[in-house]
Amino acid sequence: MMEAMMTLPELPVGIWGRVVQINAPPAMARRLMELGLIPGTRVCRTAESPAGDPSAYLIRGAVVALRRQDAGGILLYPEEGGEGR
């Protein structure tokens, strides 16, 4: 039932996932947590820039752009049928 864990930048556009863990330097981890990215949070990759970096993510009702480097330490499980709330 549950798919393999992936990083946030690996999440396909339009798919929801649930954050499991954040592996980042302390300052970046704090910034990501302030944006609402904590374990258990649902997130959707909504768009990717034409160059592929950064990407836009829907997090707790807000759209946030994150660079691949900053989002790469966020581990999550994609959710089946993962659209909407």
Name which of 65, 59, 48, 37 is nearest 10 in CA terms: 48
**pLDDT tens per residue, range 14-67:** 999 999 999 999 999 999 999 899 999 999 999 998 888 999 999 999 999 999
Residues 6+ apart with CB under 8 A from 51: none
One-letter identity of residue 73:
G
**Predicted model pTM:** 0.85
Cβ pair 59, 36 in contact under 8 A = yes
C-alpha dist (Å) from residue 67 to 2, 49, 73, 74: 27, 10, 11, 12
